[in-house]
Each structure stands twice: as C-alpha cells, then as structure tokens.
C-alpha cells in the first residue's frame, strides 16, 4: 500500500547528538515532522520512523501489534547509537510509551527522554470490552486531529482496529511495569485539555519513574496533538533546551553540523 501523503518517515544526518522521535497509535510521522525539522535545522541527527501498519490504511494495522511497533523504534535507536555519541528518545501519545520502554530497556545508552501527552493506559469500558469485542467487530470510530488550532489536520486513521487496540492495552501494561527502570532525565509536557489521554497518565508516569532530573510542563493552549498545535514552538524550544543542557555540544558552533 502507498504511504499517505505526509506520513513518510523522516531522517536527517546531523551531528554527534541524535534524537529518535516516535509517533502515536493510528498516527504517522506527520504529527512530529515540524519537531523533527526544527531539531534537524539546529544540527541534530534525527530519526522519525513510520511504525508498521501505520500511514497507509487502518486495515493494514489489523495485522500488526506492539511487538512490531516497538521493534521498529528499537531498530531506529540502535542505528542512532552506532552513529551518535549521545542519543535522546522522544514521543507523542503512544510514542511517549515507546520512548519510555526504550529508556527502561537501554539504560545509560539513552541520555534523556522527552514525552508529550504520553499514554500509559486504555481507559474506560473499552479496556474491558476489547478481549471479546475484537473478535466481533474489526474496528471502531477513531479520534484524530484533536487539535485546538483551526485549519490543522493530523494524518492518521479515523478507525481504530480492535486487534491492534488490544495489543496496545497489553503494551501499556508492560510499559507501566517497567517505569521504575526509567532513570534518565525526563521532560514531560502535557496539555491541560486533552480529549484522548487523561492527565492521570502523565501523573502516573511521574509517580513511577526513578528519574531524579524531571521537568513537567503544562501546555495551556493545545489539545492532544500538541506538536501541531498552538504550543508546538514551546515544545520544540523546551526539548532543545533540555537536550542542550545534557549534551553541551549542541548549539556550539561547528560541533553539531559535521557528519
């Protein structure tokens, strides 16, 4: 299947500091593309992969599960680790959960974690219905483009494949179990109004990680897809400042532009 316009993966060869960006469930790299290009323009090496089953049509996602999505970001991280002296992981929504899982598994190889409106649990009745419902109906109505800014659209699926959603539930449980193994510096940004992920998810992450260096930022003017919303520039600036503090070579003339 051809990839939807705008949903293509993105890669930029920059300097010795690398950043892996992970997009969300039923979403695509398009939701993080401006962030990726912002970091690339400032000399960082950036990897923004397209997760298996995403960016084409929702039926393709029915055939994939969390193991496929995690394997793709793990592969991308290993590529960056071979190429860069320091690597950071970041993500939006489920991409935040993927970033946290990578941090818990790779330990000191990951220098820091940035998550935006991270999801950690499937909430409500849906969580209990999924094991049975996925065998009865293939999909349910999705929620894309939860964006306050007018005229901005997210490239993603308007249907949620239930087999994939069930796998997501299992993955969230794994990530939650591994949160105490997350020790890296953490920057967590979350919207005060989010129609997809409740604030309880961010609160749980902050209460369970073992990170000592933690910064929490509230995004007051954006909904769930904050990376395409009114607070996008704040997210980009905060993440660059966070990375720059932990990787002092960032921003110094001639230090991040070489191959």
- Which residues are documented as binding site for substrate? 25, 94
Options 28, 31, 190, 194, the catalytic residue: 194
Options 224, 229, 231, 239, the catalytic residue: 224
Residues paired with 11 in a beta bridge: 47
Catalytic (active site) residue 68 = no
Question: Cβ of 158: how many Cβ atoms within 10 Å?
Answer: 12
Catalytic (active site) residue 158 = no
- Cα 18 to its chain centre, rounded Å, is 15
Catalytic (active site) residue 194 = yes
Binding residues: 25, 94
SS3 87: strand
Task: Name the nearest CA neighbour of 88 among 258, 253, 240.
Answer: 240
Strand positions, DSSP E, the chain = 10-12, 17-22, 45-48, 86-92, 112-116, 139-141, 159-161, 186-191, 214-219
Q: Which two tokens stand for residue 240?
A: 């660059």
Could you give the residue numbers annotated as active site?
93, 194, 224
């Amino acid at each position: 299947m051809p990839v939807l316009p705008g949903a293509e993966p993105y890669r930029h060869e920059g300097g010795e500091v690398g950043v892996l960006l992970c997009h969300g469930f039923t979403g695509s790299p398009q939701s993080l593309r401006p962030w990726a290009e912002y970091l690339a323009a400032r000399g960082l090496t950036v990897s923004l992969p397209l997760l298996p089953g995403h960016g084409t049509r929702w039926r393709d996602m029915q055939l994939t599960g969390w193991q496929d999505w995690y394997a793709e970001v793990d592969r991308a991280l290993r590529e960056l680790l071979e190429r860069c002296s320091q690597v950071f992981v970041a993500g939006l929504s489920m991409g935040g959960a993927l970033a946290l899982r990578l941090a818990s598994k790779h330990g000191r190889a990951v220098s820091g974690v940035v998550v935006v409106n991270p999801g950690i649990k499937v909430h409500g009745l849906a969580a209990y219905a999924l094991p049975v419902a996925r065998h009865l109906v293939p999909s349910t109505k999705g929620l894309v483009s939860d964006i306050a800014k007018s005229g901005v659209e997210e490239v993603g699926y308007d249907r949620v494949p239930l087999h994939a959603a069930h796998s997501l539930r299992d993955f969230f449980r794994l990530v939650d179990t591994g949160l105490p193994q997350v020790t890296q510096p953490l920057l967590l940004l979350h919207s005060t109004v989010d129609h997809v992920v409740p604030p309880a998810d961010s609160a749980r992450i902050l209460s369970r990680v073992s990170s000592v260096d933690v910064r929490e930022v509230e995004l007051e003017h954006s909904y769930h897809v904050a990376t395409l919303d009114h607070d996008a520039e704040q997210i980009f600036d905060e993440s660059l400042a966070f990375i720059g503090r932990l990787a002092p070579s960032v921003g110094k003339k001639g230090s991040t532009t070489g191959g």
